[in-house]
Each structure stands twice: as C-alpha cells, then as structure tokens.
Structure 1
Amino acid sequence: IWKNNRGLNFRKLNSEWICQSSLFSCLFVHICTCVFLVILISLCIRLAAVGFLTVSSTVTMSAPFFLGKVIDTIYSTGTDIETMTASLTSLCIMLTGVFLCGGAANAARVYLMEVSGQQIIRNLRGSIFMSILRQEVAFFDKNRTGELINRLSADSAIVGRSITDNLSDGLRAVAQAVAGVSMMFYVSPSLASFVLLIVPPMAALAVIYGRYLRSISKRTQDALAQATQLAEERISNLRTVRAFGKELSEVNAYKQKADFVLSLAKKEAKMRAGFFGVTGLSGNLMILSVLYKGGLLMANHHMTVGELSSFLMYTFWVGISIAGLSSFYSELMKGFGAGARLWELLERKPEFPLDEGHVLPPEQLKGQLEFCNVSFAYPTRKEAHIFQNLNLLVPAGTIMAVVGPSGSGKSSLVSLLLRLYDPDSGLITIDGHDIRDLNPYWLRAHIGTVSQEPVLFSCSIRDNIAYGATDPDAVTTEDIYRAAKVANAFDFVQRFPKGFDTVVGEKGVLLSGRTLWWKSRFYSQISNPKILLLDEATSALDSENESLVQEALERLMEGRTVVIIAHRLSTIKNADTVAVLDQRQIAECGNPTELLSNREGQFRKLMEKQSHEKGKGAEFILEPYPQKE
C-alpha cells in the first residue's frame, strides 16, 4: 500500500474502482436491456419516446461520475504505464459503447417526439376545424375569418411544439437536473449545499418571467391574428382593391398591424434578454463557486481531483439543465398564451346542435312552410329588428315569390328556413313540425338553395357539382351528366378542354357568371330536394343569359315547394303567390294578378317603380300577369 504526498490511499481507490466497474457493467447491461425493451414498444410512440429519454438521460448523467473515476485511475497508476494503458483502454471502450447507446437513444427520442408532435398538431387542427364548422352562423358574424385561420394555423403550431418538442426537452432537463443535483450531493454534500443556494432566487425570477411572457404572448397572437385577418380579407378581394387603386393604402394598413406585432416582440425580447442574461451569469457564478470551494476542500484533503472534476461536470450539466428549464418554461407560457383561444374554440358548444333532432319519413315530407308570429333580429344587431310578428304560409308544391324594398329582410327568410339562425320568438314549421325539433343535417339535405352569389371551390367542375349531394363519393358520372342536362349546361361544360374535369379558380373566378349560375343549379338538382329556395336566382346573369336559363329553372321547380326571393320583379312571372315584405311584416300576399289590380298596393307600387327605371336597366315590363293553369 502506498500513498501520494497528500496521504490518499490509491490502492483503496483501485479496489473501489473495481467495485465501481462491476456496478458499471451492471449499469451497461441494464441500459442495453432498456434499449431493447424500448424498441419492442416503439409502436407506442409516446411511451417509446419517454423510454429513449430515460436511456439518453441516464447515459448523459452517468458520464461525469465515470470520467471522474478515469481521472483518479490516471493519478493512481502513477508511472505504471502498462497498467494505466490497459485500464484506460478497457474503460474507454466500455464508455464508448455506452455513449453510442445514449446517442442512438437521443436520436430516437428526437425523431419520435417530432413525429408525435406533428400528429398532435394534426389532431389539434382537425379538432379545431371541426369545432369551427360546428358553430352556428352567428358565431361567424362575431368572429373574423382571418383570426380563425390564424388560430387554426399559427396558434395550433405553437401549442403543438410547446407540448411535444418543448415538453421533451423540458422532461430531459428535469431528469438531468434531478440526477445532477443528486450526484452532486453524493459526491460532496457540503459543496452541493453551498452551490445550490442560488437556485431559489432563480426559480422566483423564472415564475415572474413566465407570467409576463404568457401575457405578452397572448397579446402577440391576438395582434398577429388581426394582421392575418387584414391580409386575408384584402387578398381575397384583390380585384376590388385594384379597381380603386388602394394597394399602397392597404400596404400601409398592414404595416401598421405588423408594427404593433413588432413592438410586442421587442418587449418580449427585452424581457427574454434580461432573464437569460441573469441565468447565464448565475451559471458562471456556480462554476466559479465550485472552483473556489472545491479547491479549498482539495487543499484540506476532503476531495480528490477526480471527485472535483465530476462535481464540476455535474454543476455544468445542472446549469445547462436549469437554462433548459428556463427555456422550457418560457416556451410553455407562450404555448399557454397561444392556446387560450384554442381552448375556447374547442370547448365552445354551438347554440344548437347540428346532428340532433327528428327525421321525417320521406312519405311524410310534403313541403308546406309556415311562419307563425316570427320576430327576429341578427345576434350582432339585436336593436335592429328584421321581422316582428311575421306570418306567412307557403302551401306544399306551390311557388311563392317574396318581394320588397331593399333591406326588408327577404334573404333573411332563407336564413331562417335553413335554420342558420333561430327566431327570437314565434315558430317556423315544415308540414307542421317546428324546424327546431328537426335534425339540421336532414333539414338542409331536403332544402335546395341557390344563393344570390354562387360560390365555387377551387377544384374541378365535377367535384363542385357533387358537393351538393348527401354523399358526394357516391355520385356517379351518370348522375353528374344528368344534372348538367337538366340544367341545360351539358354541352356548355363539354366545350371546355377538360370538360367536367376543368379546375376552376378560387371562388370560380375562371368561369363566367352563367357557369356559376348553372353550377348552383347543379347543387339543387344533384341533391333532389323537396323544397327549393332561390335567392334572386338570376341576379348574376344579363338579359340574354337569363332567358337562356329560364327553361332550366322551370324544369328545376317542377314538383317542388319553391320560395323565390325576388330582388328584381322580372323573376316572379312563374309564381303562384306573391308576398310583399314591408315594415318587418308581410304587407300583402296573394295572386300576382289580383295584387297588380290594387293601385294602392305595395306590389303595384314596386312594379311601377321598376317600370319607370326600365331605361336604367330594369327589365320588368308592367303588364297583366297571365293566369297559371
């Protein structure tokens, strides 16, 4: 037994090292076993990721301890080069194998967490999109489209990263910090107690910083959503912007929104810079404290150079872990800030469900519509009543034309019949059944709608036609051709180079107004509804095209209950009954010829007004209505 000049027993160290080597071998076998088990359960991505995290953290935090033993081995062998070489070679080979396992586990952890993160983002976006689409129409009156898109894209990505990649790094930092602190106390309790005095004030600072970051992150995401809303609205209406030459003013408006986002980002950057500056300084002070206090302990023979080296490395890893925890906490707070509105969207219940209620058997559906003492105001304008105690009956199988001055609420009738809104009071019934008791999906499947401004999706004409069917995937080519022929549009569509496979632009900008009109008819024809709502069906057409499609319109209305919302009186010549809306009620209702004969009636006055405006584009000619057979 021999001692160095500090009186340390190195043979004892060697015997301890042999014992540690046995423990190391057991640890190596245990790590290999863990890796094998993790591979077996790799199909369960999240569990596998946690397993690989455990392996990589174990390897990482065991390194300083064994490297300290390597240093002591070098000191203990003295001038015995052969013994030192043999010990170092075997030791380094084993450590290399362990480090390779740790590196592979870390790579697997990153890969699995990345895949898991993308799956979470996908599921989150799917849930948010479903929640958005299930909301009532009044929800979209109160919330801007651009903001919802920003929540769906940017916010969901931030939340996804904060609970996957960031969570993985945070868990690793926690594991390494706990293991590092434990090993620091194992190596030298007194030195560990001295060094870790800096942790409590740093934790308090991190809490304050996190609360501030969460608040400013929410404000930043709200500001970014407003900027996105402005950009989405202006780009989607670029033709209007271009027509009025407002490009520069719109650019300036967007820059103002972006500047506000930048100002919030600068505030966040200042706080982040101060926080990470303090944490970096604290880490350096910890290293300096270890060197100072550890040097004193070595001078008093209470520590070996290997133990001090191990302690230094553990201090270094704990410092890195604390910095990682700080970053994890800040990113987590950003995720909470971005996720606040997402949770609101996910948890928000629509005012009325979309797939609950009664379904009438086909033989019971006749198509009679009735409004009974209906009062209604839009949710965003409760003070402005559209209807008050409105009563209207549309017998099954008849054609009812609704006319009235602009803003009298004609299109609102369509919205109420489709149950896009519920009346404030009164009843709306179909064959005597309150539509609030009917399944909304079933209701809309049996009501064909042709809106005032037909909408096309950016896909093929074939896909756009099939969109109106209850099950678009079940629509055959023959069904599409039949719908096109009924609408007198088959030959027209076939003249396109790709026929029904022609891809239209966003909102159908690559097609003419007549094509948009025909496509709207396809919706109604392909779904074969019992009730048909035409909201100024020919407003998008000129006089020539209007006469060309009149035959198709008459064929489409055969055997159905039809409500025609007429903004131009020339569209009501086929109506059995005309209802005149005025002063939030039905002012007149009856046969067109009878109403025309009343010179003081509202219908007669509307007709005379359009007759006088004929030279300005009105197409209705004041003449007696032919009696329908």
Structure 2
Amino acid sequence: NNFYYPYSPGSARGHLREYCVILVAIYLICSILDAAYATIIHNAEERMASRTRRKVFHNLLRQEVEFFDGKKPEELVESIQNDVALLQKTLGDHMIHGLHCILTVLMCIFIMFMISWKITLVVLSLVPICMLVGKIQKFYARRLGKERAEAMATSMELVEETLSSLRIVRSLAAESRQLEKFKEMAADIYDLSLQTGLVDATSKSSATLMIQLAVVLSLYVSGLAVLSRQVEVGYLVTYAGVTILAISSIAQLSPLLRQITKALRASERVFHLLDRSPKFGG
C-alpha cells in the first residue's frame, strides 16, 4: 500500500486539509481574475464595435449618390449592425477562447508526457488513424450527397419542363416516355439515397468503434504500466482526467473555427465599406 500512498493515516489528514485549503485559494484567485478578464474583454469589444460603426457610417456619408442606387439600405444596415457584431464577438470571446483551448491542449499533452510518455505515445498514435478514417468517410459521404443533389435537380428539371410544355407533350403522346424517364431518375435517386444512408450509418458506427478500441488499447497499456509499477494508480487517474480535458478542448475548437470563418467573410464586407473611396463624376 505504501507504493500507492506513502504516508501514515495521521499525516494523511493533514495533507488532505492542506491540499483543500490550497485548492480553495486557487479557485478564489481564478474567480477574481476571470471576472476581471471578462470585464476588460467586454469593454474592449464594445469600444472596438462603436468605433468601427462610426467609421463605417462616416465613410458611407462620403460616398456618391450613385453608390446607393446599387445598394439596398437593408444590406448596409446589416453590415453596420450584424457584421460588426460578429467581428466584435470573434475578436473578443472566440479568439481568446480558441487560444485558451490550444494552450490547454498543449499543457495537457505536456502533463501526459510527464506522467507516462509510453501511454501518451500510444494515445497520440491513435489520433491520426481516427482522423484518417473520418476523412475518408466524409469524402465518400460528401461525394454521394453531391451526386444525389444533382440527380434530384435533374429530375425536377424534367418535371418542370414536362409540366410547362404539357400541351406539346400531349400532342406528341409523349406522357409515357416522360414518365419512364422520371422513373429511371427516381430509381437512381433511390440508389444514391441508400448508399448515402449506408455511408452515414457506417460512419457513425465505425467512428464509435474506433474510439472504443482506442479506449481499450489505452486501458490495456495503462494496466500494464500499473502492474509493472511504472505508474501509480493516483497518477493514472490524473492522466485520465487530463486526457478528458484535452479532448474537451479539442472538441471546442471545431465550432470556433466555423465562427472565425464567418467572421472573416463579415470582415471583408466591413472593410470594403471602410476602404471605399467616393467616385464623383469628372
């Protein structure tokens, strides 16, 4: 038992109280710093948004009248309101939160290597395999979805052409021929839908299976490390918690990247209005 906790029961209680007091102090400091951080970020966001809206509106007032003939007022108002708000949110919360997630992942990986570099190498070696399987499945699912959408559009074009020129179709007695064409297209759409459903179903099940196999392999390697007394059980529990924290941080990066992509498109529209020079006839 001394291998797992090398203290006597009496001193263990003292260590427990000491650690709890330290944790409470750390949590209080973190809470104060978090409140100060949120206040500073909010003020900076609002200041940036206010200045940007003033500059955009000022530059719009300088433009020639012909510029507004090709622009709807609603589009300009949307750029001043929504696009600037999206930039404000992205440059404030999203960028800093993304940086926080990246630093958390790097710190977690460092701690994992400090606890056991062997287990960490096994865990990290499984990540590219899981990503490769996911990429392959997404590629086929995207291709089948595109083919199905194109087939559906072609069939709807046939329906539209047939109904719009129904007099000509009936005069040529071509109803049966058009119906046969539509049946063939509908059969192709059905086959593509079945293939798409099969790929989606196997993608979800195979992704779950890959994660479960990775967990089993990690548990096996971790068990061997504990049995050979290379890692203590307490450190292994810490390792599992750090791994979960790293996975959670990585999962938060994907929606953040989507928000940043939207913000980049919004920034193009905002900077177009900011940088545009008036063109007066001469």
Q: TM-score, normalised on structure 1?
A: 0.31
What is the CA–CA distance in structure 1 between the aligned matches of 2:74 and 2:226, rounded to whole Å?
65
What is the CA–CA distance in structure 1 between the aligned matches of 2:278 and 2:123, rounded to whole Å?
56
Structure 1 vs Structure 2: percent identity of aligned residues? Answer: 26
Residue 143 (1) aligns with residue 63 (2): no
Provide closer, same or farther for how the CA distance between residues 98 and 122 of structure 1 changes in structure 2, counting only shifts above 3 A: same
Displacement of 1:134 in angstroms is: 2.0
SS at match of 1:135: coil
What is the 5 A alignment of 1:478-489?
none
Residue 97 (1) aligns with residue 25 (2): yes
Residue 422 (1) aligns with residue 267 (2): no
SS at match of 2:63: coil
What is the CA–CA distance in structure 1 between the aligned matches of 2:212 and 2:70, rounded to whole Å?
52
Deviations 1:417-453 (A, max 9, x none): xxxx525xxxxxxxxxxxxxxxxxxxxxxxxxxxxxx
Displacement of 1:114 in angstroms is: 2.1
Which amino acid in 2 is paired with 1:76?
Answer: P
Q: Which residue of 1 aligns with 2:276?
A: 348
Which structure is higher in RCO with an 8 Å CA cutoff and minimum separation 6?
2
Displacement of 1:95 in angstroms is: 2.1
What is the CA–CA distance in structure 2 between the aligned matches of 1:301 and 1:180, rounded to whole Å?
23
Residue 162 (1) aligns with residue 90 (2): yes
Of 41, 45, 67, 1:113 maps to 41
Of 217, 223, 227, 1:295 maps to 223
Q: Which residue of 2 aligns with 1:314?
A: 242
Provide closer, same or farther for how the CA distance between residues 293 and 133 of structure 1 changes in structure 2, counting only shifts above 3 A: farther
What is the CA–CA distance in structure 1 between the aligned matches of 2:264 and 2:20, rounded to whole Å?
45
Displacement of 1:286 in angstroms is: 6.0
- Conserved 8 A contact 1:159-1:339: yes
What is the CA–CA distance in structure 2 between the aligned matches of 1:118 and 1:160, rounded to whole Å?
7
What is the CA–CA distance in structure 2 between the aligned matches of 1:348 and 1:82, rounded to whole Å?
75
- Conserved 8 A contact 1:286-1:315: no
Displacement of 1:127 in angstroms is: 2.1
Residue 76 (1) aligns with residue 6 (2): yes
What is the CA–CA distance in structure 2 between the aligned matches of 1:323 and 1:118, rounded to whole Å?
28
Provide closer, same or farther for how the CA distance between residues 197 and 93 of structure 1 changes in structure 2, counting only shifts above 3 A: same
Displacement of 1:76 in angstroms is: 2.5
What is the CA–CA distance in structure 1 between the aligned matches of 2:214 and 2:270, rounded to whole Å?
41
- Conserved 8 A contact 1:191-1:290: yes
Which amino acid in 2 is paired with 1:81?
Answer: P
Of 251, 257, 276, 1:329 maps to 257
Provide closer, same or farther for how the CA distance between residues 293 and 130 of structure 1 changes in structure 2, counting only shifts above 3 A: farther
What is the CA–CA distance in structure 1 between the aligned matches of 2:76 and 2:220, rounded to whole Å?
57
What is the CA–CA distance in structure 2 between the aligned matches of 1:311 and 1:328, rounded to whole Å?
26
Provide closer, same or farther for how the CA distance between residues 344 and 315 of structure 1 changes in structure 2, counting only shifts above 3 A: same
Deviations 1:209-244 (A, max 9, x none): 9xx9xxxxxxxxxxxxxxxxxxxxxxxxxxxxxxxx
Residue 190 (1) aligns with residue 122 (2): no
What is the CA–CA distance in structure 1 between the aligned matches of 2:6 and 2:237, rounded to whole Å?
15
Provide closer, same or farther for how the CA distance between residues 104 and 191 of structure 1 changes in structure 2, counting only shifts above 3 A: same
Provide closer, same or farther for how the CA distance between residues 289 and 120 of structure 1 changes in structure 2, counting only shifts above 3 A: farther
> By percentage of residues, which structure has more helix?
2
SS at match of 1:76: coil
Of 175, 196, 217, 2:103 maps to 175
What is the 5 A alignment of 1:425-444?
none
What is the CA–CA distance in structure 2 between the aligned matches of 1:288 and 1:92, rounded to whole Å?
33
Which amino acid in 2 is paired with 1:336?
Answer: L
Q: Which residue of 1 aligns with 2:55?
A: 127
Instruction: Name which one, 1 or 2, has greater alpha-carbon Rg.
Output: 1
What is the CA–CA distance in structure 2 between the aligned matches of 1:109 and 1:145, rounded to whole Å?
37
Provide closer, same or farther for how the CA distance between residues 323 and 296 of structure 1 changes in structure 2, counting only shifts above 3 A: same
What is the 5 A alignment of 1:500-579?
none
Displacement of 1:335 in angstroms is: 1.0
What is the CA–CA distance in structure 1 between the aligned matches of 2:217 and 2:41, rounded to whole Å?
37
SS at match of 2:6: helix
Deviations 1:358-402 (A, max 9, x none): xxxxxxxxxxxxxxxxxxxxxxxxxxxxxxxxxxxxxxxxxxxxx
SS at match of 1:350: coil
What is the 5 A alignment of 1:447-462?
none
Provide closer, same or farther for how the CA distance between residues 337 and 137 of structure 1 changes in structure 2, counting only shifts above 3 A: same
Deviations 1:295-323 (A, max 9, x none): 22212222111211111111011111101
Provide closer, same or farther for how the CA distance between residues 337 and 284 of structure 1 changes in structure 2, counting only shifts above 3 A: farther
Structure 2: any 5+ residue segments left out of the alignment?
143-200
What is the 5 A alignment of 1:4-43?
4=1, 10=3
SS at match of 1:143: coil
> By percentage of residues, which structure has more strand?
1
Provide closer, same or farther for how the CA distance between residues 318 and 289 of structure 1 changes in structure 2, counting only shifts above 3 A: farther
Provide closer, same or farther for how the CA distance between residues 171 and 287 of structure 1 changes in structure 2, counting only shifts above 3 A: farther
Displacement of 1:198 in angstroms is: 4.5
Larger mean Cα displacement after TM superposition, 311-320 or 123-132: 123-132
The number of residues matched between the two structures is 214
Q: Which residue of 2 aligns with 1:609?
A: none
SS at match of 1:164: helix
Provide closer, same or farther for how the CA distance between residues 177 and 86 of structure 1 changes in structure 2, counting only shifts above 3 A: same
Aligned-residue RMSD, C-alpha: 3.1
What is the CA–CA distance in structure 1 between the aligned matches of 2:227 and 2:246, rounded to whole Å?
25
Structure 1: any 5+ residue segments left out of the alignment?
11-71, 213-273, 352-420, 424-629
Provide closer, same or farther for how the CA distance between residues 197 and 343 of structure 1 changes in structure 2, counting only shifts above 3 A: farther
What is the CA–CA distance in structure 1 between the aligned matches of 2:9 and 2:125, rounded to whole Å?
42
What is the CA–CA distance in structure 1 between the aligned matches of 2:211 and 2:38, rounded to whole Å?
26
Provide closer, same or farther for how the CA distance between residues 330 and 198 of structure 1 changes in structure 2, counting only shifts above 3 A: farther
